[in-house]
Structure 1
Amino acid sequence: MTGLESFLDPTILILTPIGVLLGALIGAVPGLSATVGIAIFLPFTFALDPLAGLVLLLGIYNGACYAGSIPAILLRTPGTPASAATVIDGYSMTKKGQAGRALSISLVASVIGGLISTLLMIFLAPVVADFALGFGPAEYFALAVLALAIIASLGEGSIAKGIISGAIGIMIAMVGLDGISGFNRFTFGVGDLSAGIELVPLLVGLFGAAEAIRQIEARLTGTNRVAKLGTFKVGRARWRSLSPHMASGGLIGFIIGILPGVGGDIGGYMAYNESRRFARTHRSRFGKGDPRGVAAAESANNSAQVGGLIPTLTLGIPGNAAAAVLMGALLIQGLQPGPQLFTGSPDLVYGTFIALVAGFIFLLVIGMFSIRLWAQVIRIPPALLWPMVLVLTVIGAYAVRTNPFDVLVMLIAGVIGYLMMKTGWPVAPLLIGVIVGPLAEQSYRRAMIQSGGSLEWALEPIPLVLLILAVLSVVYSVWQAKRDVAKSVEPKVAPQSHNPANPEDEVSTEATAQQNTEHGTNSSPG
């Protein structure tokens, strides 16, 4: 009740939607992450009360995470690193003329994932934080191996290609200063490589610049087509089929988010992988424009963002980079994150929890009114759109460290991503390798140092369970791939009539009588 009283202050009620709107504007620009947005607006909170300042920054925090899916779906350019997994099916839906439906699913999944994680945080924050605090190098290494095992399932038809692509990503992650010994590795005398390959320029290049190059090439050869928005409405049957994927994505994202330093990008990929792995029907549609992939990824990455606040608030350990900036805001206000924050400032803590719930409700409302505006990006003539995307990728790459070298990295990554698309090599495993590689390597080396060179730490309960799950994940992926190959060579039966009663059947157009009955008359927004 104290937190509710604090939240009902008029200043808080005004700043909550303002923060969400600012975050949405920032996240929609490729390369500008939640961390950048919070850092930009941090000085504006110095004149505010602690709760007011924190509410504004939290609105930016969650709004940016959601809005990163907008360019990911429309332009194949993740607005934030956490939206990388959304590209896989989101952009494929856009190419199929279902951009409006993909944006609607992304909005609802983001809100549901955030609310799931917020409610879990309210009730489980102290307990979960204590459990996460018990994770040492051995546990983090095993968790990283489990995440890397996802690579075997993201090979887009070829497990070998997925593993090789992931290995290349791990090699890229090794460039720069060694986190243990402090020596330069694979820098070849280039000073700018000492800090390593920055993630955002690499991400923007692999997806955004690569797609822009491909689209410009298609326009020059006369083979590109302007995608259609399609309907923004999603039927009740479709929502029922997506709800398990949003719920599981929210739970997976929460678990990943509470582990300091892991983040929403890994959570999004893990939730996407598990949704595909355990889909009951039409598993082959994942990666080709399946709404379930968008729902799982978006629910998970928003849930992981909120989960990252648990170690920040309860232990004083930032869960991710953006949470570290939020922690800095608390310290500037004279507040020390940790257990004493719950006892000394309950109005701040529980007011923050209520503001998070209200923020996601505001996000749903703001998203519903603005989603058609965002979607108009797709109506820009391709001759203008894709050169503009290239310009945005340059700005996004440069804005991270204001270093021209990052622009060069982005352009090289764009060429690599373009060549990988042309030759059928998956890009997602490479990105997972870059993200998870440093965590796996450094955790393994620390575990070996602590154990004096012994592998006994691998037999401890948590690492052992995680490593067994990683092995089972690869074995299951191999078995699943062989089964799919065996099915593909079976004699094909005559195609059956479409069954609209199956909620997981693909909805290709708005013209069927089933949809007109269920949704009403749908038309693309003008």
Structure 2
Amino acid sequence: MLDFALQGLWQVFIPANFLVLCFGVFMGILFGALPGLTATMGLALLVPFTFTMSPSAGLIMLAGIYVGAMYGDAIPAILINTPGTPAAIATTFDGFPLSQKGMAQHGLVAAAVASAFGSLLANLVLIVAAPPLAIVSLKFGPPEYFWLGIFGLTIISTLSSGSVIKGFLAGAVGMILSAVGMSDIGGDIRLTYGFPELQGGIELIVALIGFFCMPEILGSVIGQRRAAYTEKAVKPRLGVIWEVVRDLFRRPGLLLRSAGIGTIVGFAPGAGGNIASMVSYNEARRWDKHPEAFGKGTIKGVAASEAANSAMAPGSLIPLLTLGIPGSPPAAVILGALMLHGMRPGAELFSQYADVTFAFIMGLLVAACLVTIIGSLGSVVFSRIINIPSRYLAPAIIFMTVLGSYAIRNNMLDVWIMFIFGIIGYVSGKLKFHPAPIVLGLILGPFVEEGLVQSMLAGKAVGGTFQYLVFRPISGLLILLCVFSLLWPLYTLWRSKHEKQTDASTAP
């Protein structure tokens, strides 16, 4: 295996292959950074260009696009509070507050370093432990996806900075919004109110732009007529890169835990980076000594989200390369590219086509290193964008949000939905409802619904729905995690009260 890995690394550094890898990373960052353009879209658009390339060069370019897009989505999330892709939702929680404090460069460098670390660790797992992990991924069925969705919803108790009740109410609204459109199982049309365009449901990117970006523009730029998009001007300098790198590598536990979560969620087919980043952010906040710093602008929150987001990409390739089961939509596009080049996933991919396969895997590794260099050095340039006066920047952001909302389905109704969600997000912010639980409910609603309905149908054939849902090894583990996640806020509340009483009793 080591010989194949070294041979693959040598292929990556062939000048022509290295150039297409650099091109892929650049295009991936571009597609990730523009709202409405995702890694899946970038891969799908550029797959035809690989037809005239050798299989190695074509897959190396796709590796660059995939890894680049995993970092690129952090740029608008940090600068303008707009996740470039759904996987960067958690990055906005601390990324944008960092920008508001004039520390946008710190957030961008943290995102680049954490993305590279997560991708490198997940790639090592892909090389060493792909076959056994692929077997575990086959154990994920409807009950596991149902409990994974429930576990994700328990994160609301952590995300709700003010009232937990408000958080769960907002999550319920999100789950209702996720039910709009045609049911995937029964085919029923729900909550469309006579609009045929809504039969496909509400696009997640449209909701993200509406709930995260538009309220900021309405409240800060237009409502307060602020001259600048952020409260403090950004003053980038090269010294910040070393400061952030040193700070992050003083916290190896944070990076390892986040990358591990991203890898695990990645090899569960269909889970995606949005769940990985949210769970990772929640765990980072749970185990930190100063959880109150999260949500107010800390590089730890950005690093946790981006490490998991980027680790998910190689993780999703584990079931793809070994079993032919794509773990994410971008992985499905890569599966199509493999098939077009006459390569079938499975054992023969690591034997008959080992040279091409390991060239692709090592391309992912080298692309992660390129992202660190481009992201860290580019932060000096990227962070200056928000120093542009708001009278110029705000119209440009609104134009990009309209364009991104429309481009997903070429549907003008999506643009109106984005504006409506923007107004709702602005009003709910005044009422102290955070948009994160709403979006979390919108993401996890389909997981919970499909997992429950499919489990009910399958449970009738195996002796009972309850038995099918609960008495499975992975389901049992996820149920324990759900209980732990729900009880943890109660424990922290009790501990803080106990510490206050102890301090009061020992005070002179």
Aligned partner of 1:356 in structure 2 is 364
Match of 1:466 among 456, 469, 478: 478
Aligned partner of 1:257 in structure 2 is 266
Aligned partner of 1:451 in structure 2 is 459
Aligned partner of 1:204 in structure 2 is 209
Contact 2:228 2:388 in 1 (8 A): no
Aligned partner of 1:67 in structure 2 is 72
CA distance in 1 between counterparts of 2:266 and 2:446 reads: 17
Match of 2:163 among 152, 158, 163: 158
Matches of residues 14-163 of structure 1 in structure 2 within 5 Å? 14-163=19-168
CA pair 200-42 structure 1, distance change in 2 beyond 3 A: same
Contact 1:226 1:382 in 2 (8 A): no
CA distance in 2 between counterparts of 1:224 and 1:208 reads: 12
TM-score, structure 1 normalization: 0.89
Aligned partner of 2:428 in structure 1 is 420
1:296-337 deviation digits (Å, cap 9, x = unpaired): 011010111221111121111111111111111112222222
CA pair 375-225 structure 1, distance change in 2 beyond 3 A: closer
Match of 2:338 among 330, 333, 343: 330
Aligned partner of 1:313 in structure 2 is 321
Shift, 1:485, TM fit = 6.6
Secondary structure of the corresponding residue to residue 292 of structure 1: helix
Shift, 1:492, TM fit = 9.4
What residue identity is the alignment partner of 2:402? V
CA pair 144-17 structure 1, distance change in 2 beyond 3 A: same
Matches of residues 355-374 of structure 1 in structure 2 within 5 Å? 355-374=363-382
Secondary structure of the corresponding residue to residue 97 of structure 1: coil
What residue identity is the alignment partner of 1:454? T
Aligned partner of 1:183 in structure 2 is 188
Structure 2's unaligned 5+ residue stretches are: none
Q: Does 1:271 align with 2:280?
A: yes
CA distance in 2 between counterparts of 1:225 and 1:143 reads: 37
Identity %: 37
Contact 2:74 2:88 in 1 (8 A): yes
Contact 2:12 2:60 in 1 (8 A): no
Aligned partner of 1:298 in structure 2 is 306
Q: Does 1:429 align with 2:429?
A: no
1:176-226 deviation digits (Å, cap 9, x = unpaired): 111111111112222111111111111111112222222233443789754
Cα RMSD, aligned residues only: 2.1
What residue identity is the alignment partner of 1:245? L
Shift, 1:239, TM fit = 2.7
Contact 1:153 1:162 in 2 (8 A): no
Aligned partner of 2:257 in structure 1 is 248
CA pair 13-474 structure 1, distance change in 2 beyond 3 A: same
Which contiguous aligned blocks of 4+ residues in structure 1 show a shift greater than 6 angstroms? 221-224, 485-493
What residue identity is the alignment partner of 2:159? L
1:99-135 deviation digits (Å, cap 9, x = unpaired): 1111111111111111111111111111101100121
Q: Which moved more, 1:445-454 or 1:226-235?
A: 226-235
CA pair 488-316 structure 1, distance change in 2 beyond 3 A: same
CA distance in 1 between counterparts of 2:337 and 2:359 reads: 16
Contact 1:242 1:295 in 2 (8 A): no
CA distance in 1 between counterparts of 2:162 and 2:500 reads: 12
Q: Which moved more, 1:477-486 or 1:370-379?
A: 477-486
Q: Does 1:407 align with 2:415?
A: yes
Q: Which moved more, 1:167-176 or 1:481-490?
A: 481-490
Contact 1:107 1:367 in 2 (8 A): yes
Q: Does 1:479 align with 2:484?
A: no
Contact 2:34 2:73 in 1 (8 A): yes
Which one has a larger percent helix, Structure 1 or Structure 2?
2
Shift, 1:461, TM fit = 2.2
Secondary structure of the corresponding residue to residue 278 of structure 2: helix
What residue identity is the alignment partner of 1:136? G
Shift, 1:491, TM fit = 8.3
CA distance in 1 between counterparts of 2:482 and 2:362 reads: 37
Contact 2:108 2:376 in 1 (8 A): no
Aligned partner of 1:171 in structure 2 is 176
Structure 1's unaligned 5+ residue stretches are: 494-526
